[in-house]
Amino acid sequence: MPLDWTPFVDLVRHHHRFLLTTHVRPDGDGLGSMLALANTLQEQGKAVRLVVASVVPPRYDFLDPTCRVQRLQGTGDEFRECDAIVILDTGTWNQLGDFGTLLRTLSVPRAVIDHHVTQDDLGAIRLVDTSAEATGRLVFEAIEAMGSRLSPESAHCLFVAVAMDTGWFRHANTTARTFELAGRLIAAGAKPTTAYESLFEQSSLGRLKLAALVLERLQLDHKGKICHSAIYKSDYMATGAVPQDSEDLINYTRSVAGVEVGLFFMEQPDGGVKVSFRSRSLDVARLAQQFGGGGHQLASGAILQMTLDEARARVLAAVSQALEADRR
């Protein structure tokens, strides 16, 4: 059933100063959706600020050449001057990082635009459609509902959002409607070739060296049904990479023939281990929820406050058990 965008249109109509954010370690869907919505709100005469509680991956600099997306540091008091907040591509406290702390102190109206299954009560209008392949689709719908023109810049941002969350139209969430939407975005000014070159043909040497380490560390488990790899904090200095260069590297784990579940373990700069799950059929969102995370049925994540070796042992045991149960 299509979303009713009336509450969001009313929110936009009755407020002027908007604060937009997305999840920490933002990806193409979160950033593209946020930037496209910001463009549209500004075209309607709204004051808009964009903030994320972590570093924006350098590979997305081409989407934001004037650096409109700011990093939240400290208490974020400079972002209090707003009268409405829009949270994109997440609906959970843990994915907001330090922005969640600021959000709890603000009493202004807020909306969540998202397509993930896992949702917390953020005290917001929920515009959530788990059947959408990307939050970018939902922002496209929101812009249409607002009666706004889709600028070439916004179309380009939304194309990146949809393309990245469908694995450049390879994942199972890609449908005929996805290609229809992509066609409309191209007609409005999106440039697929430029986007692809920026995302996949402009890697730093550090990112490529990091990928080499990930490939070297690939291991099979559970009779070849699980493949996993890892990144340690020391790898960044050793390769010249940055943590944001780890995006998409989990795809190598699921690319091995016969693998049902791919796992990627990453030591975090401030402690703990981020675990990414990818699956061909097993519901890994439920697995991620066991460890305080969540996401999609076939693509999820969680952060465990323990050593990498401990996290690997616990997660492998849980995935193995789930695979055995799924066979029955």
Residues 29-46: tens digit of each pLDDT: 999 999 999 999 999 999
Q: Does 139 lie in the same domain as 242?
A: no
DSSP string, 284-319: HHHHHHHTT-EE-SSEEEEEESS-HHHHHHHHHHHH
Number of domains in the chain: 2
Q: Does 232 lie in the same domain as 181?
A: no
- pLDDT under 70: residue ranges of the chain: 1, 328
Q: Is residue 1 part of a domain?
A: no
Give the integer Cα–Cα distance in Å for 85 and 83. Answer: 7
At 203, list the tokens: 């890697």
Q: Does 236 lie in the same domain as 191?
A: no
**Residue 159 backbone dihedrals phi, psi, to 5 degrees:** -60, -45
Q: Does 154 lie in the same domain as 15?
A: yes
Residue 182 sits in a domain of what CATH number? Answer: 3.90.1640.10
Q: Which of the listed residues 154, 177, 200 is the one where a domain comes to its end?
A: 200
Q: Is residue 178 part of a domain?
A: yes
Per-residue confidence (pLDDT) for residue 117, from 0 to 100: 87
Q: Which of the listed residues 178, 200, 222 is the one where a domain comes to its end?
A: 200
- Look up the domain containing 68 and give its range: 6-200
pTM, rounded to two decimals: 0.86
Give the integer Cα–Cα distance in Å for 6 and 60. Answer: 32
Tens of pLDDT, residues 187-245: 999 999 999 999 999 989 999 999 999 999 999 999 999 999 999 999 999 999 998 89
Q: Which of the listed residues 138, 168, 200 is the one where a domain comes to its end?
A: 200
Q: Does 122 lie in the same domain as 56?
A: yes
Q: Does 196 lie in the same domain as 214?
A: no
Q: Is residue 301 part of a domain?
A: yes
Q: What percent of the chain has pLDDT over 70?
A: 99
